[in-house]
Structure 1
C-alpha cells in the first residue's frame, strides 16, 4: 500500500494558537492580535448565545417544529472568530452549518429557522446581511464566492468575499475549480475550511493525503492552519487574510482545525462511525471554556457570567416562541418560483402533488 507523501497532522498540531485550552494567552509573532477585555467578552457572548440557539434548534427539531437541523456544536470559535473578522462591505458565502457567521452578520435566529422549518426558500435578504442564504449543494458556494470576488475586483471596491465550507467539501470538484479561478485571477477571496474531522461518516484520513491547508500551495496561493477552537487565533488569521485580499494580495485558504461535537444533522447517528472517547478528547478543548478560563483569570467575576446566562435564557424563550409562530408554507407554492413565467412541466407536477395531497385532506386547487 502506498504511503502518504506527508502525514496529515494529528490533534497535537492545531496550527496558529493564541489562547491555549487552559485559557492562557500566548503569542504568535506571525499573527499578532491586540484586543481588549471587552472585545474578548463580546466574543464569548457571541459563542454562548450561539450555543444556546443551537441547542434550542436541536430541541425544536426533536419536537417536530423543524424539518432538520445541522448543529455547529464545537465549532463556535471558528464561526464567530471568522464572522467578526468580516467588514460590513465584505460578503460571506456559507454552507448550511454557519449559524455563527449568520449571527455575526446580524441575522436573527428566527430568520435562520425559517429555512429549517420550511417557511421560506431562504430566510433573509442577502444584500442587507452581506451573506448569502444557506447552500446545501456541497462546495457550490466556493464558486459563488470567487465569482463575486471577481466582480469586486472589476468594480474596484474595497471589499472581499469569503467562502465557508467543511473538510468534506474539499473533495468536491467545485472547490478545486474555485481555487483555480481564484488563483489565476488573484481574486479577493478567502476560503475558510472548517475541518471538523468528519465528512458525515468519512474521517479526514479518507479525504486527503496531505494537510488541507497545504492544498492551496498547489494552486499558487498561501494556506494556513489555525486552531479552530481558539476564537482569538481565528480572528487574527482571518483578519489578516481578508486585509490581504482587499489590498490586492489574492486568495488565502484557512483551515480551521476543529471538531463536530454533535451529529452531522439531526438525521445522523455519529455513534455508528466514531468512538465516544474521541468526542471526550475534544470536549476538553471546548472553545467556550477556554475563553471563560481566560476571562476569570483576568478578573471577570461571577456577576458578568450570571448576566450572560440570563441573556441566554431570554434568547432561548424568544427562539421557542418565534419558531412556533413561523407560518407553514403551502407545499404547492414551491413550483411557483422555479421559472419566471408559467411552465407546463411545473404546472403538471403541481397538479400531481395537489392530487396526492387531496387523497389525504380532500380536494384543493394548485396555486
Structure 2
C-alpha cells in the first residue's frame, strides 16, 4: 500500500514530526511511505531551510518551499500536483487547522482514497495566543472546521482531553479514534546508566516551555548542591534570557546548558543521568519527553498542562504543580528528593507502557490500513 503523510515540518525537533516519523518508519516496513512537508527546520526559531529530498529508514521525504507563514507553526507550501502524481492509496494528514490538512481532503476526493486527520491537540488556552491568531482560530473553527471535520474518514485524537473539543465542533463520536503518540521500544529495554545528582529538562528551549519558572524554582530549593541541566535546541534570544536569569540568581555554577541530542541511545543515557525530570511548560498537548522519562523510571514533575494532567496521577506516578508557580515546583522537587520513590518509579514505567510504538503501530494497522474499517 502507498501511504502519504502530510506534516508541517520534517526536520528539527517538533512534536508533530516526532509522531509522523515514528509512525512512518514502522509503516514503511510493510508499505511504501511518503512524507510531504514544508522545507523549514523546526525548533531553533531560525526558520532554517533544509534539503528538498531525503530518505530516512525507507521513508521518502519531500520538502516544499514555504511560500508564506501565519504564526510560528503555519506555513503555506504547494504540494497538490505532486500528491496527484503520487496517487497514494491513503492520506494521513497531521495537525488540525492547517491549510494542507484541508487541501488533503480535496486531493483524497479527487483520487477516491480515504483521508485521516491526526489532530495533535491544538486546543490551547486563548491567553497563549495573540489576538490575530485567536481571531484566525475562531474563524477557522466557525467557517471551516465544523464543515469539514466529518468529511475525513476518521479523526485521530492523540489525547483523551481533546475529544470533548472535537465533539463541541460537531465531530461525530463514531468518527473519533484515540491513538496517542508512541515512543521507541528502546526506552523500555536499554540498559540503565548511573544517576548523577542533577535535575533535567530535555526538550525545545522556547518560551512556551516556561523554563524561567524552573530556574526560579531551582533557586528556592532546599538542596543547594544538586545541579540543573537544560538540554535541547534553543531559540537564541530566549536562551540568552535564561542565562541572564541564572546569573542574576547566582546559579551560573550549578546550571548547565547543553546542546540538543538527536541520537536515541545518547538521549536515553542523558535521561538516565538525572534524578528528577521536570517539564515546566505553559502548554503541552501530549508531552513526549515526559513519557520517555517515565519509561526510564524517572521521578517526573510536570506543570498542570492538559497533557501533563492526562499522564500523571499526582503522587502515584509523578508530581504536578500549578503552571508558572515556582514556589510550588520547588516544593514538589524537594519532596521528590527527600522520599523513597521506588514505588512511584515502578508505577511511572507501568503507566506509560501503553505508549510503546510496538503496541501502537498494531492499532494503526488495524484501524487505518485493514480495509479502512473500525
TM-score w.r.t. the length of structure 1 is 0.33
Higher RCO (Cα < 8 Å, 6 or more apart): 1
Task: Choose between structure 1 and 2: higher helix proportion.
Answer: 1
**TM-score, scaled to structure 2:** 0.33
